[in-house]
Amino acid sequence: MKIGEKERPSEHEAIEATAATWLFEKHDGLTPEYAAEFTRWLEADPRHRAAFDRLDSAWSTLEELRDYRPESLRHPDCDLIRIPARPKRSPLLFPAVAAVAASLLVMAGWWFTNGRNTGSDSHQVFSTDASAYQSITLVDGSKLHLNAYTEVRVQYTPAERRVRLVRGEAFFAVAKNKARPFSVLAGDVAVHAIGTAFNVSLAAAAVDVVVSEGKVKVTDIEVPAFFSSSQLGSAARSGRQYPELLVANEWLHIPTLGKGEMVHSLSPKKLDEATMRQTLLWKDAWLVFTETPLSEVVEQFNHHNKVQLILGDAELAARPVGGNFHANNPEVFVSLLVQTREIAAERPDADHIVLRRVK
């Protein structure tokens, strides 16, 4: 082993360290040059944005200490924890900055479990994998339904109820409480409930909001007060013009802004009852197909189940499939295919079913 090799950070540590450094730099103010460099770093790898978002969330949590612990500072003392170097400097800084990043997360975790775990406050994380759905009743009586591969972070305080959709899709049936507003944050979009039920889907290209009952108000996400106007992200500068309110049976598609992109007016689309039912069928773990190629159907079933379907004949890929099927029961779907007498099924082991064309 070469001298100094033990001090070389892992890729994960390097990402966490760089994210921590960018957090402090952004707090102090970014020059246009470094703002562009920061944007390039975020867009270079999904792990970069995930690491920065985690630390940014921890920073925001620490900011709340002022409201709950008056003797505490509004922000951590940057002079105590700042690393006096820009990103991409000497790798010898990485262990120190990684330690600061870890400290932020540990402090936030302590505050959530000790400093915030009083009265009606709560902070919880719920997630599903690719083969699971979950229904949750929150402490205020609101109900959440999580689609597969979804994560939400629920934060309740005496003043507000806030849920961050980290990934995936979720349906919210909100209990009314005018004294404690309910908001869902997804990407750079905030959805504010007005005694309602609605669905939010977060993807790389867009955020989709569908209202099934009541009304919601959609806005750009609030930017922490310690960021100056020159530091605001694309959403805050987007010039987006949202409809005043979204009402029942309306769908709003909000594209993710690329670099330099500007979105001005966003208009909702009215959905008929049949479309609304199909849009929300996933809540009951249903897959809906209309003349969908069998190859795509197989892909969706495989996304939700341990048992994997395999097309043994390429000719089957384009075969159209229609109907509603329970996502967690591929065996029933396969039995329906077999009943057509045009497709046969083989099961080489417990976790695989091979579909072949009957010749």
Average confidence (pLDDT) over 297-319: 90
- State the span(s) of the chain assigned CATH 3.55.50.30: 285-357
Task: Check whether 105 has a pLDDT greater than 90.
Answer: no
Residues in CB range of 104: below 8 A, 6 or more apart: 20, 55, 58, 59, 62, 76
Per mean pLDDT, which range of 72-86, 145-159, 328-342, 343-357 is the poorest? 72-86
pLDDT at 61: 59
Task: Check whether 44 has a pLDDT greater than 80.
Answer: yes
Tokens encoding 51? 């690491």
| Average pLDDT of the chain to the nearest whole number | 76
Report residue 79: phi and psi, to 5°: -65, -25
Task: Check whether 174 has a pLDDT greater than 90.
Answer: yes
| DSSP reduced 3-state for 85 | coil
> Higher confidence at residue 24 or residue 81?
24
pLDDT at 204: 86
pLDDT at 232: 40
- State the span(s) of the chain assigned CATH 2.60.120.1440: 122-271
Q: How far apart are CA 97 and CA 329, in angstroms?
A: 48
Which class in CATH covers the domain with range 285-357?
Answer: alpha beta
pLDDT at 263: 62
pLDDT at 248: 95
Q: Which CATH number fits domain 122-271: 2.40.10.120, 3.40.50.300, 2.60.120.1440, 2.40.50.100?
A: 2.60.120.1440
Q: How far apart are CA 339 and CA 341, in angstroms?
A: 5
- Report the relative pairing of strands 182-186 and 161-173 from DSSP bridges: parallel
pTM: 0.52
